[in-house]
Amino acid sequence: MGTGRPARPPYNLNHLVACMLVVTFVVWLVHPAFDRCSLDSYDASTVTELDLKNCKLTVLPASISRFGVLRKLDLGNNRLSTLPAVLPSTLLTLFCLNNNFETIPPAIAELPHLRMLSFKSCRLRDVGVAPLPPSLVWLILTDNELVTLPDSLGRLTRMRKLMLANNHLASLPSSLAAMRELELLRLANNQLKELPAWLYELPRLTWLAIAGNPFVAPAPARAELPSVRFGELMAAASRTLADCLF
C-alpha cells in the first residue's frame, strides 16, 4: 500500500566522500595548514615554549625577538651556525644541540634570566668572547672541539651542573674554583693530565666523571675481572645498607 511519498534515493557513499573532500579543500584554502617550523604560525604574545627541533633551519628569523613571554626555546638538530643579535630576554632554557656553531653567539650574553644552556654536539672551538649570563645553573658543552676554557667561566657562581665531556681540554681555569654551588662535573674523555687541587675543595660536588683522561688508568679487560656470585653481591649490599641505617 502506497504512502503518497516519493521514493528516497539510495544512499551514495561516493557522493558523500566527494563532498567531504571539497569541504576540506575549501577549509585548507581559507586556513593554511599549521607549520610547526614557521614562527608565523605562533602567537608571539602568548607562547612560552617553542619547539623548533628538526626543522632544517640554517637561519633563525630575527622575528624571534617578538616572543615577549618565551621561557623555553629548543633549536636542536638544525643547521644553525649563528643566532640573531636579539633573543627574547625572558628565556630560561635554550637548547642548541647538534648544530653547526663554532662559537657561542654574543646574543647569549644578553639573556639575564637564562638558567639552562646546551650546545651539545655542535662544533664549538671556543666559548665565545662575550661572558655567559651569571644566572646559568646548567651548562652543557659535551661533544665539541673545545681545547681551552675562558677565565670568565668562573663568574658563573650559581652553576650546579657543568658538562664538558668529550672535548680536548688539557687543563681547567683556576677561576672555576669560585663555583661553590657546583654539584655535578663531567670531564670524561678529555686530555687532562691531572685534577686541579681546588676541585677537591668544592663543598657541594658529589658527582665527578673523569674516565678517558690521560691521568686515569684504563679499565681492565673484562676477562681480567674476578667473577662475583650474585649471592655474594647481595650479601655485600645488605651489609652496606645495614651500616647506613644502623
d(CA 119, CA 96): 5
> Which residue in 50, 75, 46, 76 sits closest to 60, CA to CA?
75
In tens, the pLDDT along 52-63 reads 999 999 999 999
d(CA 77, CA 179): 30
- Cell numbers representing residue 145 in the block: 672541539
Q: Which position has the grid cell 687541587? A: 197
Using CB atoms within 10 A of its CB, is residue 26 exposed (0-12), middle (13-18) or buried (19+)? Answer: exposed
Which amino acid, 179? M
- Cell numbers representing residue 14 in the block: 561516493
In tens, the pLDDT along 187-202 reads 999 999 999 999 999 9
d(CA 34, CA 50): 14
In tens, the pLDDT along 116-126 reads 999 999 999 99
pTM for the complete prediction? 0.77
pLDDT at residue 176 tops 50:
yes
d(CA 223, CA 226): 8
In tens, the pLDDT along 79-130 reads 999 999 999 999 999 999 999 999 999 999 999 999 999 999 999 999 998 8
In tens, the pLDDT along 45-54 reads 999 999 999 9
pLDDT at residue 224 tops 80:
no
What is the total residue count of the chain?
Answer: 246
Residues 76 and 97 sit within 8 Å (Cβ to Cβ) = yes
Q: What is the DSSP letter of 33?
A: P
> Which residue in 124, 120, 113, 156 sits closest to 140, CA to CA?
120
End-to-end alpha-carbon separation of the chain, Å?
95
